[in-house]
Amino acid sequence: MVFRLIIVLFFFSVGAFSQEKFIKHKISKGENLTVIAKKYGLKAKDIKDANPDAPKVLKLNSILLIPNKNSKSGQNSPAVANNTSGLHEVLQKETLWGISKKYNVSVDDLKKANPALETEGLKIRQQIVIPSANSIAVSENSAKNADAEKQETIQSTDVEVAVEVQPKETKYAIAKKYGITVKELEKQNPFIKGKLPVGYVLKIKTTKEIADAVNAANSPQAPIQEASASSTQIADNPVVKKDSTFVYYGNHADLADQLISNATENIGTRYRSGGTTKAGFDCSGLMFCTFGNFDIKLPRSSIEQSRIGTKITSTEAQKGDLIFFKTNGRRHINHVGMVVENVDGEIRFVHSSTHGGVMISSTKEPYYQRSFSQVNRILQ
């Protein structure tokens, strides 16, 4: 009896020892000693030594003993391999997510280490690079350092200037002078979103070069330069009267977008006859206020606005043009809006409607299709 007990204890201790020293691995399709060794961070010779009776050609679903480097972690599932840089051979049905979990790295890190994955995807038996934790940390640190250096460079070139608002100055004129948009100006000085009080000091962040150029232009020591500067300003942004028509000449690559942005910020504001503020707009009041915010003075009524600029066909209409209508069976123009886009013969425009306030409508709507009159170009 005692002898049998000794035999049982012996086999139990051997089994515990083997479990502590080795991990059992079931061979999957496409695996060989090299692939399995890489998966566990070992050499093929280590696995071969642990399995002296294993055939040269591994059989599917047979079991191999894998030497366990760390006896404590050896009891865990072998699905997670050591995070050391190396190669991984893609097996059937494997995914990037599965491989990332196996090697304890992120999918993004795998894509960065293997740029071809973005366009070609995973392929069976493809060798992909597994980044190590150290290489990931180094790349992240270098990216952070580059961003920090970039921020320092930007901060070193940006300056803050104090600008006192002068009578008849507009947000657009100030923003243009300092090389920023009206939105950026309002973001830096939130209190001016409603009004622009004369005499108030604005704080504007701009580049040192622009600030120096503005200071030089305002300096009284060079009257000849001042004269040339003023002539340049007039050439860049004048309102010219020609054959009873007022046309805006100048660089307006992004002006149309800013006009649309300014007008559409009022969407939802109610209709108010004679209104030119956020308390309420009529159709011509919305155009008068929007263009006025950018130093472009329009007449006050829709019929007068229809007589300025250059009359164009509806197919030529583009962003920033004025579009006119004769509504309610009227013989003369009595409604105006601003073109937001013209796609496939459909003109969408922002306007203040008597029944809906500030909104965007379309010439495909039967009401506006029937009452359409003309399109005028103000920005030349």
Sign of CA dihedral 300, 304, 310, 315: positive
Burial 127-155 (b: 16+ CB within 10 A, else e): ebebbbeebbeeeeeeeeeeeeeeeeeee
Q: Measured between alpha carbons, how far is 23 from 107 in angstroms, rounded to an integer?
A: 27
Q: Measured between alpha carbons, how far is 227 from 120 in angstroms, rounded to an integer?
A: 62
Read off the pLDDT of each residue in 190-198 and give the average, rounded to a whole number.
80
Chain centre distance of CA 380: 31
pLDDT in tens, 40-82: 888 888 888 888 777 777 788 888 888 876 644 434 444 444 4
Decide: residue 286, CB within 10 A, 0-12 exposed, 13-18 middle, 19+ buried. buried
Residue 283 annotated in active site: yes
Take residue 311 and report the two structure tokens written for it.
């009359």
What pLDDT shows up at residue 141?
57
Residue 197 pLDDT > 50: yes
- How does residue 354 score in pLDDT terms, banded at 50, 70 and 90? very high
What pLDDT shows up at residue 43?
84
| Residue among 25, 88, 252, 351 flagged as catalytic | 351
pLDDT in tens, 23-35: 888 888 778 888 8
Compute the chain's Rg from CA coordinates.
Answer: 37
What pLDDT shows up at residue 314?
95
Residue 21 pLDDT > 90: no
Give 142's contacts (C-beta < 8 A, 6+ positions apart): none
Q: Measured between alpha carbons, how far is 305 from 336 in angstroms, rounded to an integer?
A: 8
Decide: residue 322, CB within 10 A, 0-12 exposed, 13-18 middle, 19+ buried. buried
Read off the pLDDT of each residue in 104-115 and give the average, rounded to a whole number.
83
- How does residue 247 score in pLDDT terms, banded at 50, 70 and 90? low
Read off the pLDDT of each residue in 213-228 and give the average, rounded to a whole number.
58
State the Cα angle at 280 between 274 and 282, rounded to 5°: 45
- Output phi, psi for 343, to 5 deg: -130, 125
What pLDDT shows up at residue 165?
86
Helix axes 255-264, 283-292, angle to 10 degrees: 130
Q: Measured between alpha carbons, how far is 351 from 334 in angstroms, rounded to an integer?
A: 12
Residue 25 annotated in active site: no
- Output phi, psi for 224, to 5 deg: -65, -45
Residue 153 pLDDT > 70: no
Residue type for 334, please?
Answer: N
- How does residue 149 score in pLDDT terms, banded at 50, 70 and 90? low
Q: E strands along the chain, which residues?
A: 22-26, 63-67, 86-89, 127-130, 158-164, 201-207, 239-242, 245-248, 276-277, 280-281, 310-312, 322-325, 335-343, 346-353, 357-362, 372-377
Read off the pLDDT of each residue in 249-257 and give the average, rounded to a whole number.
68
Residue 252 annotated in active site: no
For the whole model, what pTM was predicted?
0.44
Give 66's contacts (C-beta < 8 A, 6+ positions apart): 22, 23, 24, 25, 36, 40, 42, 47, 50, 78
What pLDDT shows up at residue 208?
85
| Residue among 25, 88, 252, 335 flagged as catalytic | 335
What are the helix (H) ranges across 198-254?
A: 208-218, 223-236
Mean pLDDT is highest, among 7-16, 145-154, 279-288, for 279-288
Take residue 289 and report the two structure tokens written for it.
């206020």
Residues 377/312, Cβ–Cβ less than 8 Å: yes
In percent, the amount of the chain with pLDDT more than 90 equals 29
The residue that leads in pLDDT, 156 or 332, is 332
What pLDDT shows up at residue 300?
94
| Residue among 283, 289, 332, 355 flagged as catalytic | 283
Domains of the chain with CATH codes: 17-78 (3.10.350.10), 80-143 (3.10.350.10), 156-236 (3.10.350.10), 241-377 (3.90.1720.10)
